[in-house]
A and B are shown apart, each in its own frame.
Chain A
Amino acid sequence: MTADVIVSGSLRNRLAFILTGGAALLAVILYVAVRLLAAQVAQQGQDNILNASMSSVLDTALIRDGRVTVDFPYSSLSMLNTAADDRVFYAIYEGENLLSGYDWLILPRDVLSERTHFGTTTFRGDPLRVATGSRVLIGSDGPRTVSVSIAQTQDALSDTLYSSSRSVAFLGLGFFLMSSALALWAASTTSGQMRRLATSVTRRGPQDLSPVTKPVPSEMAPLVGSLNTFMSRLDHTLSQSEDFIAEAAHRIRTPLATVRSHAEATLQRVDRTENRKSLQAMVRAIDESSRAAGQLLDHAMVTFRAENLEVSEVDLADLLDELVLSMTPVAEMKDITITMTLDRPATLQGDAILLQNALRNLIDNALKYAPAETDVIVRVSKSPSLSVSISDGGQGFAVDEIETLPGRFVRGKNMGNKVGSGLGLTIAQEVAIAHGGKMTLSNRKEGGACVTLSF
Chain B
Amino acid sequence: MRYIVLLIALLTPISGSAQEWEDRRLFGASDQISLTILSSTDTSFFAPIIDDFIASNPNTSVEYLVTGTADLERTFRAAPDRFDVVISSAMDLQLKLTNDGFAAPILAEDHPEWAQWHDRLFAFTSEPAAIVINRRTLGDLPIPQSRQDLIELLRGHPDRFQGRVGTYDVRQSGLGYLFATQDARASETYWRLMEVMGRVGAKLYCCSGQMIDDLRQGKLVVAYNVLGSYARKQAETSGDLLVILPSDFPITMMRTVLVSENAANPRRAESFVRHLLTVQAAGDPKVFPLPPLVGDYDNEAQRNINLDPALMTYLDQMKREAFVREWENAIVQDE
Contact = CB atoms under 8 A, between A and B. Distances in A.
B318 A71 contact: yes
A78 B118 CA distance: 15
B288 to A, nearest CB: 25
A263 interface: no
A248 to B, nearest CB: 102
A65 to B, nearest CB: 11
A99 to B, nearest CB: 6
A46 to B, nearest CB: 14
A87 B309 contact: yes
B316 interface: yes
A289 to B, nearest CB: 109
Interface in A181-217: none
B316 A100 contact: yes
B185 interface: yes
B239 interface: no
A370 B316 CA distance: 133
B313 interface: yes
A80 B118 CA distance: 13
A75 B310 contact: yes
A70 B308 contact: no
Interface string B101-134: 1000000000000001111000000000000000
B319 A71 contact: yes
A76 B319 CA distance: 13
B299 interface: no
A99 B320 CA distance: 12
A78 B316 contact: no
A86 B98 CA distance: 11
A74 B322 contact: no
B43 interface: no
A283 interface: no
B312 interface: yes
A85 B318 contact: no
Interface string A71-109: 111111110110011111100100000011100000000
Contacts of B318: 69-71, 92, 99-100
Contact of A85 (B117, B185, B316, B317): B117
A88 B322 contact: no
B310 A69 contact: no
Interface in B279-335: 306, 308-310, 312-313, 316-319, 322
A77 B312 CA distance: 8
Given A71-B322, A124-B101, A81 B310 contact: yes
Contacts of B116: 85
A88 B318 CA distance: 18
Contacts, number: 60
Contacts of B118: 84-87
B99 interface: yes
Contact of A101 (B101, B306, B310, B316): B316
Given A70-B318, A74-B185, A88 B312 contact: yes
Size band of the A side of the interface?
Answer: 20 to 34
A99 B98 CA distance: 22
Given A77-B312, A100-B316, A87 B185 contact: no
B147 to A, nearest CB: 20
A72 B185 contact: no
Interface in A40-75: 69-75
B310 A74 contact: yes
A84 B117 CA distance: 8
A252 B142 CA distance: 147
Contact of A78 (B99, B119, B308): B308
Contacts of B322: 69, 71
Contacts of B313: 72-74, 76-78
A78 B185 contact: no
B309 A80 contact: yes
Nearest to B316: A100
Interface string B86-104: 0000000000001101000
Contacts of B185: 74
Interface in A207-252: none
A61 to B, nearest CB: 10
A70 B319 CA distance: 7
A92 to B, nearest CB: 7
Given A77-B309, A81-B310, A88-B309, A72 B99 contact: no
Nearest to B320: A100
B317 A100 contact: yes
25 contacts: A70-B318, A71-B322, A74-B310, A76-B310, A77-B312, A78-B306, A78-B309, A78-B313, A81-B308, A81-B309, A85-B118, A85-B308, A86-B309, A87-B101, A87-B309, A88-B309, A92-B318, A99-B317, A99-B318, A100-B316, A100-B317, A101-B316, A101-B317, A123-B101, A124-B101
Given A88-B312, A89-B99, A100-B318, 18 more contacts: A69-B318, A69-B322, A71-B318, A71-B322, A72-B313, A73-B313, A74-B310, A75-B310, A76-B310, A77-B309, A78-B306, A81-B308, A81-B310, A84-B118, A85-B308, A87-B99, A87-B101, A124-B101
Interface of B: 98-99, 101, 116-119, 185, 306, 308-310, 312-313, 316-319, 322
